[in-house]
Structure 1
Amino acid sequence: MATVYVSVGSNVDRENNVRQCLDKLRQIFGSVQASTIYQSAAVGFQGDDFLNLVVEFDTGLDVYAVIAQLQNIEAQQGRRRDGDRFSSRTLDLDILLYDNLILEETGLKLPRPDILRYAFVLCPLAELAGERRHPVLNSTFYELWQVFDNPTERASLRPVWLNLNG
């Protein structure tokens, strides 16, 4: 079994899409742990604020099968892949870690570089997996969050309460 961490983001019908996403993840993967949900400003474009969180689950599927499942969930939630890279999203699911796999190929890099780039990824990951070590840097995610050097982005994260039961 592999432990997988996935970032979840939505800024279109965001509460509904996050709820449905978590339900679908649980249907596919069973037990799913979720971080606090954070509201953050859109990055790279003008748009409504996002809801972001990180989820953790264990699976016997290989990394490519996990990605296929995530893309299927995105498609079910109305995600279109033919638009701009930085645009509003019904649902954005990005695999951050697949155990300690280090992988670099066209369109896929693990651990995902966004972990070190965006507060809305690193903060909830550090909350969920604070003692886990980054497979390349060997620092814990808690340590990486403590030295995250973007005060504006860090300050813009706002925890939100969302009833995930519908």
Structure 2
Amino acid sequence: MKILIEDLRVNTIIGVNPNERTNKQEVSIDLEIWTDLQEGVKSYRISDTIDYKVIKKEIISYVENSSFNLLETLAYKICKVVLQDNRIKKVRVRVNKPGALSYAKNVAVEISMMRKNSLAKAYIGIGSNIEPEVNVRRSLMLLKEKFKVTKISTVYLTKAIPPNQPDYYNCVVEIKTNYDPFHVKYILRKIEDKLGRVRNENKYSPRTIDLDLLMYGNLIINSEDLVLPDPEITQRPFISIPLYELNEDLVIPGVNKAIKEIVKDVKGDEMKPLNAYTEELKRELFGI
């Protein structure tokens, strides 16, 4: 089955000429999206299908908060935004720039992109303020045993909330998995238990390790056991800045905002990058 969105008009910086780098221009976007819609047909629930309103809002936020030299790049990046939802198998994007050529009604670029596999891309936040140098490393090695860890952000030294306790080590990792998000959360809790995480009524108490599933593809979940995406993405610099570092083309579902838009309003002045420690972790994780 296929979803079509036609003539989605968005303003962005597009082109290489000086005036094109300062003034936004309108582009028109056409999309064809291939996915399995049978569950939605049977259940009548929007959660069982692809919400094209969400796709529209995500594309608008991403394109309006980005700039591009070429139509080809813009079309390619839109494909990546759409394929963030691992339920989508293939997308075709056509970007039109009317008036780009004199004597021509329109100039357009069309790109098709197909998902290579069904693995979901997910992001996990890691935090520790009890022996953090040891416990962040140990948590990463345990995550590597369970998932395909593909990227790690810079590890930052951040102030605790409230500040009357030791500072935190914080970072975010990108993984790929075929486990559903509830099972991912279950695995994270098991790793926390293994590393001596103690839970009590004070949710801000010091901890050996804190592993939070921040995003899972493009899924939006609001249940008693799991909320996705994590609401703190828009509130905590130690989450949004590492996410931007890992994937500047990321769009946050539900919020329907590009991470580029979110970090514009975020201040990370009190975050100290631990570059040497981060490089050690990368060598252990990826051999680089």
TM-score, normalized by length of structure 1? 0.92
User: Is 1:55 the equivalent of 2:173?
Assistant: yes
Residue 8 of structure 1 aligns with which residue? 126
Superimposed CA distance per residue, residues 13-44 of structure 1 (whole angstroms, 9 cap, x where no aligned partner): 10110111111111111333100001100013
Residue 77 of structure 2 aligns with which residue? none
Q: Is the 8 A contact 2:182 2:226 kept in 1?
A: no
TM-score, normalized by length of structure 2? 0.54
Higher relative contact order, structure no. (Cα contacts within 8 Å, ≥ 6 residues apart): 1
Distance change (3 Å), C-alpha of 1:58 and 1:99: same
Q: Is the 8 A contact 2:192 2:211 kept in 1?
A: yes
Identical counterparts, % of pairs: 35
Superimposed CA distance per residue, residues 103-136 of structure 1 (whole angstroms, 9 cap, x where no aligned partner): 1112421110010111111111111122111112
Counterpart of 1:100 (choices 218, 228, 233) is: 218
Using the TM superposition, name which of 30-39 and 53-62 deviates more: 30-39
Mark the runs of 5 or more structure 2 residues left unpaired by the alignment. Answer: 1-118
Q: Is the 8 A contact 1:39 1:160 kept in 2?
A: yes
SS of the counterpart of 1:87? coil
Whose strand proportion is higher, 1 or 2? 2
Q: Distance in 2 between matches of 1:142 and 1:8?
A: 21
Q: Pick the structure with greater CA Rg.
A: 2
Q: Distance in 1 between matches of 2:166 and 2:200?
A: 20
Distance change (3 Å), C-alpha of 1:32 and 1:72: farther
Q: Is the 8 A contact 1:45 1:87 kept in 2?
A: no
Structure 1 vs Structure 2 CA RMSD: 1.5
Residue 18 of structure 1 aligns with which residue? 136
- Cα offset, 1:7, TM superposition: 0.4
Mark the runs of 5 or more structure 1 residues left unpaired by the alignment. Answer: none
User: Which residue identity lines up with residue 160 of structure 1 in the other structure?
Assistant: L
User: Is 1:44 the equivalent of 2:162?
Assistant: yes
- Cα offset, 1:80, TM superposition: 1.0
Count of aligned pairs between the two proteins? 162
SS of the counterpart of 1:32? strand
Q: Distance in 2 between matches of 1:116 and 1:107?
A: 21
SS of the counterpart of 1:131? coil
Q: Distance in 1 between matches of 2:225 and 2:232?
A: 13
Distance change (3 Å), C-alpha of 1:65 and 1:96: same
Q: Is the 8 A contact 2:149 2:173 kept in 1?
A: no
